[in-house]
Amino acid sequence: MKNDRRNFLKKSSLLAAGITMGGGLTSSFANTPVQRIKRKIELSGMAKDAGIQFSNAYFGGLQNAKNQYLVELAKQMGALGAVAGLSPREAGMPDANPWDYDVITAVKKAYKDVGLDYHVVEGPPSLGSKTKLGLEGRDEEIANFITFMKNLKRADIDVICYNWMPVVSWARTDRARPGRGGALMTAFDYDIIKDEPLTEYGDIPAEKLWDTLEYFLNAVVPEAENIGMKLALHPDDPQVHKIQGIPRIMNTVENFDRMLKIMPSDYNGVTMCQGNYSLMGADIPALIRRWGNAGKIHFAHFRNVEELSGQLPSTKFTETFHDLGDIDMYEAMKAYYDIGFEGSMRPDHVPTMAGEENTSPGYMALGNLWAIGYMRGLAESVSKQGRNA
């Protein structure tokens, strides 16, 4: 894919360079009709956003006032991909099952009616603690998940972002940490929560979650292969080893490599959530290239962080604006371009900015607006550099 795109871009550039006016063009003719034609040809050889599907998260659905504002901004930005969970209430069918085909198509239509393309489910229904902890009822949950996959594929949705964090999911100890210019960031410090009591499930060994993950993958990946559904496992966030007795096994790059070997398949892949892998100590551009060239990146979260603990995996960190933090974001975008990534990418954990109430920390509209603009600039830059390479 990478080579095809690069060859096309180079051919476009050569065609443009071959247009002359009876001789060579010089800088004094920079605004002649021929030069304008040349420029149009060069630009036409550049895929929008480096061929990546820029998207936004709409957790809480389209009824959410913040999301309604983001929809309008997204259309003006031209970032029309939608990433969200799925609830029967959004479809006007509160008593239906979320994996029912009619529910899925109604929700997809609701996004289409406002001008968006709902193409990634993040946070799938029927994948809860019964499956992840191996409790009674997990086989029913897995069966419903398989039904959900099949009905999603019928509705032309082919990526599911899921996690392996039972009971205690996404966690932050500060959801309003002042950042640049007074913008509000989310942050985490394990020392603040390390002594919180165990959950009702007690102190669970990490191998228990490996057993349940293997059981799930053995049941689901063959079905995903049959229908062409991409499974994108998200890293644990925060990526500490345990919270309240619940282990977090997807918290190192080595553990992700182990997961990928359990069921080797083009459809058993990862969500490249840059912040988490950086907080595991990964070289993000190198990891994008390694997993990307192996076809394992099905979905991406473009995000930056600052590690503050001096430990790996990190036990203390803060989210940052995309142009701050520990990750070289230009090199990250260049890596996506080099591997020919054409999947969905969304900003993640953006700042709450001036004029906004911090009602959805990490997901407010203006932070997404800022992030998409930053991402688009990087995408155009790496596309032009790639064209000239």
The Cα–Cα gap between 333 and 302 comes to: 9
| Backbone φ and ψ of 64, nearest 5° | -65, 130
Per-residue model confidence (pLDDT) at position 191: 98
pLDDT digits (tens, 9 = 90+) for 247-263: 999 999 999 999 999 99
Per-residue model confidence (pLDDT) at position 34: 67
Number of other residues whose CB lies within 10 A of the CB of residue 389: 9
Q: 46-388: which CATH architecture?
A: Alpha-Beta Barrel (3.20)
pLDDT above 90: residue 7: no
Per-residue model confidence (pLDDT) at position 201: 98
Provide the 3-class DSSP secondary structure of residue 114.
coil
Structural domain boundaries of the chain? 46-388
pLDDT above 50: residue 9: no
Per-residue model confidence (pLDDT) at position 255: 98
Average model confidence (pLDDT) for the chain? 91
Residue 199 neighbours by CB under 8 Å, 6+ apart? 167, 168, 244, 245, 246
Angstrom CA distances, 269 to 62, 175, 233, 246, 341, stand at 28, 30, 6, 24, 14
With CA atoms as reference, report the closest residue to 265 among 302, 232, 235, 241.
232
pLDDT above 50: residue 242: yes
| Backbone φ and ψ of 102, nearest 5° | -65, -35
Range with the poorest average pLDDT among 13-22, 58-67, 130-139, 221-230: 13-22
With CA atoms as reference, report the closest residue to 300 among 83, 64, 14.
83
Mean pLDDT score, 193-212? 98
pLDDT above 90: residue 40: no
Confidence of residue 386 (pLDDT cuts 50, 70, 90): confident
Per-residue model confidence (pLDDT) at position 13: 43
Rounded to 5°, the CA angle 109-224-145 comes to: 65
pLDDT above 50: residue 272: yes
DSSP output for 325-368: SSS-HHHHHHHHHHTT--SEEEE-SPPB-TT---SSTT--HHHH
Mean pLDDT score, 330-344? 97
pLDDT above 60: residue 15: no
First to last CA, the chain: 16
With CA atoms as reference, report the closest residue to 200 among 152, 166, 153.
166
Provide the 3-class DSSP secondary structure of residue 48.
helix
Confidence of residue 126 (pLDDT cuts 50, 70, 90): confident
121 with 85: CB under 8 angstroms?
Answer: yes
Confidence of residue 8 (pLDDT cuts 50, 70, 90): very low
Beta bridge partners of 188: 317
The Cα–Cα gap between 231 and 259 comes to: 12
pLDDT above 50: residue 6: no
Confidence of residue 107 (pLDDT cuts 50, 70, 90): very high
With CA atoms as reference, report the closest residue to 55 among 70, 66, 44.
70
Per-residue model confidence (pLDDT) at position 42: 55
Per cent of the chain over pLDDT 90 is: 86
- Cβ-in-10-Å burial (0-12, 13-18, 19+) of 355 comes to exposed
The Cα–Cα gap between 49 and 97 comes to: 36
304 with 329: CB under 8 angstroms?
Answer: yes
Angstrom CA distances, 110 to 64, 87, 113, 119, 178, stand at 13, 12, 5, 13, 36
The Cα–Cα gap between 164 and 233 comes to: 8
Exposure string of 132-142, with b = 16+ CB inside 10 Å and e = fewer, is: bbbeeebeebb
pLDDT above 80: residue 116: yes
Per-residue model confidence (pLDDT) at position 99: 97
pLDDT digits (tens, 9 = 90+) for 159-170: 999 999 999 999
- Cβ-in-10-Å burial (0-12, 13-18, 19+) of 261 comes to exposed
How far is CA 387 from its chain centroid?
A: 26
DSSP output for 169-213: -S--SEEEEE-GGG-EEEEEEHHHHTTPPP-TT----HHHHHHHH
Which pTM was predicted?
Answer: 0.89
Confidence of residue 37 (pLDDT cuts 50, 70, 90): low
The Cα–Cα gap between 247 and 236 comes to: 10
